[in-house]
Structure 1
Amino acid sequence: MANPNLNRGVANVPYFTPQHITSPGTPFPTSNPIPTLFKPLKIRGATLRNRIIVAPMCQYSTAATGPDIGALTDYHIATLGHYALKGAGLVFIEATGVQANGRISPNCPGLWSDAQIPALRRVSDFIKSQGAQSGIQLAHAGRKASTAASWLASSRALGAKISIRADADVGGWPENVVGPMGGEEWTWDGKSSTDEAGGFYAPRALSEKDIEELVRDWASAAKRAVEAGIDVIEIHGAHGYLIGQFLSPVTNQRTDKYGGSFENRTRLLVEIIQGIRKVIPDTMPLYLRVSSTEWLENTEVGKKFGSWDVESSIKLAKLLPALGVDLLDVSSGGNHPQQQINMFNSKDYQIRIAARIRAELSKTSEKLLIGAVGLITEAEQARDILEEGGTAKSSEIEKEAQAAVQMTEPADGKEPMADVILVARQFMREPEWVLRVAWKLGLDIAWPSQFLRVRFPKL
């Protein structure tokens, strides 16, 4: 007689979800070599089941006002939970404001209040119940805050702008946008707050007292993430948000201890790292995302003030291990409209930068893992989409699989380009991307228990 308890549920969740016999995305034992991409990776007290990470992706889907302001919803379980179910090693929750005015939009999540912990715990619990790690990206948008959801900005009916401002009527905070510098000349797009063609509000300059409070709020948000059961915290220092604004000599022209020299411009980031590391367990991994370059070296403003470039990122990377950062997530751009690269038409540029940073670090005794984002920045770079929402040709999936493997595999006596890969939009198109990649590699990996009847046939 069959054992009625065979189909066990995951412990410590208030609902039944089956305990997978083998964690999805995990290779079965084989005599053939397993690509590094699918080997587990232990970082402090957390072990990734594979090295494919779902990068944070803004969804603009939380309440802008009321008692549930900034709290995650069932939408986030449906989306993020599905990536975990289908085998990703770590699933990041999108940029989450450490202060209310640190959100990109009124509909972005936040973690400035204890009231936001239960909803975060619910999402984290489900991600973890499927065998993935749960991560959260803590952020402050700085002068890029109080804008509307991206699909509103891109709406033809509204003029298809880069950004549109979110005023107080929709939950925005026009009078409380902040940055290293203040005044109308410091809007992100250079257009005044009253210019209808502009999409951003003028920031006010943070005082040193404001900065002290900001650092405390980063630490408080990190403590709440721990209480919610999050496995990994990432500090968002990229894409022209507040930390990136402080790092750049173009957007940070302060004359106090937070501006001027490299040491001063990195001071805020260092204090945030130190503040977070003090309040989270020693066993908890801490990641940092930076824009490795702001692509301003050859611009008028870059030549006038200098800019944050790859050399700056290498210099920063060498400081991170001693501060307690375990992994550097390498992105680029977003701090200034004059940047001279079209990120969506430039193939694998961030991957090459990540490899360069990793190679420089390998020359020292410092140990810092490197994550590369941008393997698939746009579907057209790696595959032929038949129509919007269409499926890829089999040969193109194979190219993606091989590219992903090559990222983390040493070759010709050289170090790997990265230790993990972070993938974003491709998961939105294909939540089963991990399973597809393994299939094209001829690797037998575990599928979710509920999906076994539809698993891909062996090649």
Structure 2
Amino acid sequence: MSSLFSPFTLGGLTLPNRIVVSPMCQYSAVDGCANDWHMIHLGTLALSGASLLCLEATAVESIGRITPGDLGLYDDATEAALKPVLAAIRKHSKIAVAMQIGHAGRKASSHAPWDGGQQVPLGEGGWVAQAPSPIPQKPGELAPQEIDAAGLVRIRDAFVATAKRAERLGIDALELHGAHGYLLHQFLSPISNQRTDQYGGSLENRMRFPLEVFDAVRAAFPAHKPVGFRVSASDWVEGGWDLEQTIVLANELKKRGVDWIDVSSGGVSPLQKITIGPGYQVPFAEAVKQATGVPVWAVGLITEPQQAEDIVASGKADFVALARGLLYDPRWPWHAAAELGGTVDAPPQYWRSQPSTQKALFGDTKFGGR
């Protein structure tokens, strides 16, 4: 039996295979609201055969958006906009749906990548970002405002409010975004966090706010629904956040009942020097899993079915989370199932698409010439 197509349980959620649609920012929302693009994009991925679809990084407050086009879930309008998208997915797919929730911190108020990705000036619709310390992401950018005690409470409460809205929408799981140089990662990394209060300095202090946010979200979201945490295991910068500190954080999250750790890297500094290659971040995931025993997701240039199978079968990770590979081939799990001898769910409208040379790809279905 293929390990990639074996079931696994996260919290109270049992998933039929180990393939996750990784959260992918689309920068296509309007005032935080989902629209027709999200219906098409997420609808396509919902029919991929993966076991879990994780919605893109969803801002918990408007100033926490990376770009003006970021998806949000912070008011009644943004909640209402997601309802028809999720209803369509539920009607036509059995896929579980998670949501990654986060705050951009000092990386907020940026143009979309295809528009250059640079900071949006205040006179052109930008806004003043907020961060652990008043240090800009890049030289020459407008410095963010340091978050004060009241701001910390406001942001923590915003995460909680978003978690409650996600529950009302029927979201099956949540992932807190503590990676890629966004707010929770900014608190963790000594590169971006130079506070002198109880939220800066020592590792214990730098972990304090991300852990407070996790505790608050975990308490607000139903106990049977899993909550995970995405980390950047390394800043890839000397003196920055690293794997050793990541393992300490992962163990603290384990004590608090985290259901998985999604292990990525980088994003906090333009000085990062990353060595990229197939599965280049998998060793980080393996190290976290070995040190903590917490289920982990592996990401990063995982493109081939046998590569994904080997990652799971060898115990390096419990899930593979695919992003660009699924954009390029939205039926990647189908093709992986055909190659590895697994089965996937598919709508009956597509049952006849299976090549006659393959064994039954879609479990418990029949094919005919009509």
TM-score normalised to the size of structure 1?
A: 0.75
Q: 2:19 aligns with which of 27, 52, 55?
A: 52
> Aligned residue for 1:39?
6
Q: Mark the CA change 1:36 to 1:177 in structure 2 (over 3 Å): closer, same or farther.
A: same
In 2, Cα distance between equivalents of 1:458 and 1:328:
39
In 2, Cα distance between equivalents of 1:125 and 1:91:
14
The amino acid across from 1:179 in the alignment is: A
Are 1:353 and 2:305 matched, yes or no? no
Deviations 1:30-84 (A, max 9, x none): xxxx212111222222221211001111111111xxxxx2111121121111111
> Aligned residue for 1:371?
297
Q: 1:404 aligns with which of 301, 305, 308?
A: 308
Offset, 1:423: 0.3
Kept in 2, the 8 Å contact 1:91–1:127? The answer is: no
Kept in 2, the 8 Å contact 1:37–1:52? The answer is: yes
Larger Rg: 1
Are 1:101 and 2:63 matched, yes or no? yes
In 1, Cα distance between equivalents of 2:159 and 2:78:
15
In 1, Cα distance between equivalents of 2:321 and 2:343:
22
> Aligned residue for 2:196?
255
The 5 A counterparts of 1:91-170 are: 91-129=53-91, 130-153=93-116, 163-168=117-122
In 2, Cα distance between equivalents of 1:95 and 1:432:
23
In 1, Cα distance between equivalents of 2:125 and 2:86:
26
The amino acid across from 2:248 in the alignment is: K
SS in structure 2 of the partner of residue 328 of structure 1: strand
> Aligned residue for 1:31?
none
> Aligned residue for 2:184?
243
Are 1:206 and 2:130 matched, yes or no? no
Offset, 1:457: 3.4
**Deviating 4+ runs (over 6 angstroms):** none
Which sits farther off after the overlay, 429-438 or 440-449?
A: 440-449
The amino acid across from 1:100 in the alignment is: S
Kept in 2, the 8 Å contact 1:292–1:308? The answer is: yes
Offset, 1:118: 2.0
In 2, Cα distance between equivalents of 1:240 and 1:95:
13
> Aligned residue for 1:15?
none
In 1, Cα distance between equivalents of 2:123 and 2:26:
20
Q: Mark the CA change 1:259 to 1:132 in structure 2 (over 3 Å): closer, same or farther.
A: same
In 2, Cα distance between equivalents of 1:151 and 1:285:
34
Stretches of structure 1 that go unaligned for 5 or more consecutive residues are 1-33, 64-68, 154-162, 194-200, 363-367, 377-381, 383-399, 411-415
In 2, Cα distance between equivalents of 1:169 and 1:454:
52
Are 1:314 and 2:281 matched, yes or no? no
In 1, Cα distance between equivalents of 2:123 and 2:139:
24
In 2, Cα distance between equivalents of 1:447 and 1:242:
38
In 2, Cα distance between equivalents of 1:438 and 1:268:
41
In 1, Cα distance between equivalents of 2:125 and 2:71:
13
Kept in 1, the 8 Å contact 2:21–2:52? The answer is: yes
The amino acid across from 2:305 in the alignment is: A
> Aligned residue for 2:357?
458
Give the aligned length.
357
SS in structure 1 of the partner of residue 97 of structure 2: strand
In 2, Cα distance between equivalents of 1:446 and 1:237:
31
Are 1:434 and 2:348 matched, yes or no? no
In 1, Cα distance between equivalents of 2:343 and 2:9:
22
SS in structure 2 of the partner of residue 36 of structure 1: coil
Are 1:181 and 2:122 matched, yes or no? no
In 2, Cα distance between equivalents of 1:346 and 1:372:
14
In 2, Cα distance between equivalents of 1:350 and 1:457:
37
SS in structure 1 of the partner of residue 281 of structure 2: helix
In 1, Cα distance between equivalents of 2:124 and 2:41:
25
Q: 2:167 aligns with which of 211, 220, 226?
A: 226
SS in structure 2 of the partner of residue 272 of structure 1: helix
In 2, Cα distance between equivalents of 1:44 and 1:282:
8
Stretches of structure 2 that go unaligned for 5 or more consecutive residues are 359-370
Which sits farther off after the overlay, 421-430 or 353-362?
A: 353-362
In 1, Cα distance between equivalents of 2:280 and 2:150:
39
Percentage of pairs with the same residue:
40
Offset, 1:444: 4.5
TM-score normalised to the size of structure 2?
A: 0.93
Q: Mark the CA change 1:58 to 1:446 in structure 2 (over 3 Å): closer, same or farther.
A: closer
SS in structure 2 of the partner of residue 172 of structure 1: coil
Q: Mark the CA change 1:328 to 1:428 in structure 2 (over 3 Å): closer, same or farther.
A: same
> Aligned residue for 1:215?
156
Offset, 1:238: 0.3
In 1, Cα distance between equivalents of 2:99 and 2:342:
30
The amino acid across from 1:187 in the alignment is: P
Kept in 1, the 8 Å contact 2:8–2:15? The answer is: yes
Q: Mark the CA change 1:110 to 1:441 in structure 2 (over 3 Å): closer, same or farther.
A: same
Kept in 2, the 8 Å contact 1:121–1:230? The answer is: no
> Aligned residue for 1:26?
none
SS in structure 1 of the partner of residue 309 of structure 2: helix
In 1, Cα distance between equivalents of 2:353 and 2:41:
20
Q: Mark the CA change 1:440 to 1:407 in structure 2 (over 3 Å): closer, same or farther.
A: same
Q: Mark the CA change 1:169 to 1:437 in structure 2 (over 3 Å): closer, same or farther.
A: farther
Kept in 1, the 8 Å contact 2:5–2:342? The answer is: no
> Aligned residue for 2:126?
172
Q: 2:259 aligns with which of 326, 340, 357?
A: 326
Kept in 1, the 8 Å contact 2:44–2:330? The answer is: yes
